[in-house]
Amino acid sequence: MCAKITILGAGHGGQGLASYLTLHGHDVYLYNRSRTRIKPIRKEGGIQVDGVVTGFAELTKCSTNLQEALSHAEFVFLVVPASAHRNLAVQCAKFLTPEHVILLIPGRTGGALEFANILERRSGWTPTVTEAQTFPLVSRAIRSGQVQVTAVKKDLPIASFPSTHTNEISERISKVLPNISEATDVLETGLSNIGAVFHPAPLILNVGRAESTKGQYNHYLDGVTPTVAQFIEKIDAERVSVGRALGKDILSAAEWLNKVYGSTGQNLYECLQTTPCYQGLGAPPSLDHRYIWEDVPTGLVPLAAIGEIVGVSTPAICTTIDLASHLTGRDFWEEGRTAEYLGIEALSVSELLSYVWSGSITAIPNLDIMLAPDEEMESAE
C-alpha cells in the first residue's frame, strides 16, 4: 500500500518520520512553517537518512504551503511541539476535511481533545482526532536534509477522540506506521505523558546550575539527586492517582522505566541511575526550553485540570506550574491546556468518560468497565 501522507513539522522527528515512510514506499509531503529550515531539503529534493533505514528519501514535495500540503494527504501527521497544536488547529481548520486521518505524534496530555475542540468550533463539522502516546522512532537531524534514525519503538499506543473510532483508525494507521496498539481512550494516552514528570521539575530545581554551566551536566543522572527524585515521585503519584480515579491503570514513572528500558531500583532515583540511554545526556542551558514551554502548558496544566474534575489534589504539579510561571514571567495557567480549551469544563467524572468515549456526555458507555470500584478510587486519593 502506498499512502499519501503529509507531515507537518520538519524538526528532528518530522525529518526522521518523513524519511522512514518515504523509504517504505509511501508518498510523503513535508510541510514546515519556516522556509529557512527546509531550504536544504528543497534544494536536494529529499533527505539523506542513516541508521535502521539507510538511503536518500526523495520526498514528493517540501514546502510552506499548508493548503497544498493538506490537499495532498489522506493521512495528516502533526510532528511539532505540542505547544504548537493550538495554532495549527486554527490554521488547518480551513483546509481539513472529515476524510483526513489526523494523528498528533505525540499528543502529550489533552492534545486530541484540544485539537478537536478548536477544529469543530472553526470548521462546523465534528472531527475525529487521534493521538499517539509517544513518537514511533528515535531520530535526530544532523542538519536540515540529513537525519539519523537509530531505533523503531516496539509499541506505539494510540487512541482516537472519540474512542468509538479508535479501532477503525488504528487499522488504517497500522498500514503506515509499525507496531500500533490501541489504548482505551485519549485519557489513557494523555495521562501516560512521562515527559511532564521527567522534564520541568528537575530543570527548575537545577536552574542555577543550568544557567551557570550552560547545560554542561546530565539532566537525569546529575540533575536528579535523591531529594529531587522524591519531589518528582510526588508529581508522578498525583498523575497516577488521577488515572486511578478515572479507572486507568497508569504505569508509575519507575514502572515505565522498567518496562521500556529495563531499569531497576527500589525507587525512582535508583531506576534513573540504571537507565543506559540517559548516560551522557546533556541538560538544557536555561529555562527557555521545551522542557518548560512545552511540557508545562501541555502536560502539567491539563493534568491539574483533569485532577480537579475527578477530585484528586495535585499540589506538587500545581507548585511546579507556579514556579515555572514565576521564573519565566509567563502565565502557564492562562496559556496552557485548561479544561475550557479541552472542552471538558464543568463535566463530572461519568460525563468526562462518556465524552472521550462517544463525543457526547449523553451516550454513556458501560461505566462498570471504565470506572474503578469506589474503594479503589478512595485509596487512590
- 7-55 pLDDT, tens digit per residue, is 999 999 999 999 999 999 999 999 999 999 999 999 999 999 999 999 9
Single residue among 136, 158, 186 that ends a domain in this structure: 186
Active site positions, annotated: 199, 295
User: pTM for the whole thing?
Assistant: 0.90
Indicate whether 372 pLDDT > 50.
no
Indicate whether 366 pLDDT > 90.
no
Cα–Cα distance for residue pair 206/280, rounded to 1 Å: 17
Is 113 found in the same domain as 250?
Answer: no
236, 142: one domain = no
For residue 154, the model assigns a pLDDT of: 86
Q: Are residues 112 and 203 in the same domain?
A: no
pLDDT digits (tens, 9 = 90+) for 208-258: 999 999 999 999 999 999 999 999 999 999 999 999 999 999 999 999 999
First-to-last alpha carbon distance for the chain, in angstroms, is 48
CB contact burial 280-317 (16+ within 10 A = b; e otherwise): eeebbeebebebbbbbbbbbbbbbbbbbebbebebebb
Residues 209 and 320 in one domain: yes
Provide the β-strand partners of residue 156.
Answer: 180
pLDDT of 381 strictly over 60: no
- Mean of all residue pLDDT scores within the chain: 92
Same domain, 138 and 201: no
Same domain, 112 and 240: no
> Residue 379: which residues within 8 A CB-CB, separation 6 or more?
none
Whole-angstrom CA distances from 89 to 29, 95, 156, 195 are 18, 10, 23, 22
* Final residue before a domain boundary, out of 186, 210, 228: 186
Tell me the CATH number at 59.
3.40.50.720
Q: Among 186, 212, 240, identify where a domain stops.
A: 186
Q: Structural domain of residue 305, as residue ranges?
A: 195-380
Provide mean pLDDT across the span 318-345: 96
Q: Is residue 231 domain-shared with residue 177, that is, in the same domain?
A: no
Same domain for 82 and 146? yes
* Amino acid (1-letter code) at residue 179: N
Q: What whole-number percentage of the chain has pLDDT above 70? A: 95
Q: What is the pLDDT of residue 51?
A: 93
Q: What are phi and psi of 193, to 5 degrees?
A: -75, 90
- 279 burial level (CB within 10 Å; 0-12, 13-18, 19+): exposed
Name the residue with cell 484540544.
114
Neighbouring C-alpha atoms within 13 Å toward the C-beta of 117: 18
Looking at the 3D structure of the chain, how many domains does it have? 2
Confidence of residue 376 (pLDDT cuts 50, 70, 90): very low
Whether 243 and 252 have beta carbons less than 8 Å apart is answered as no
261 and 349 fall within a common domain: yes
Average pLDDT over residues 271-279: 90
Grid cell at residue 71: 490537499
Residues 71 and 209 both lie in one domain? no
Rg (CA), the chain: 20
Instruction: Enumerate residues 6+ apart whose C-beta is below 8 A from 201.
Output: 228, 231, 232, 235, 320
Domain co-membership, 130 together with 150: yes
Report DSSP state, residue 296: I
pLDDT of residue 28: 97
Residues 233 and 172 in one domain: no
User: For position 320, which CATH number holds?
Assistant: 1.10.1040.10
80 and 106 Cβ atoms separated by less than 8 Å: no
- pLDDT for 362: 66
Digit-coded pLDDT (tens) for 107-146: 999 999 999 999 999 998 999 999 999 999 989 899 999 9
* CA within 13 Å, CB half, 340: 4
Q: Which residues lie across from 7 on neighbouring strands?
A: 30, 77
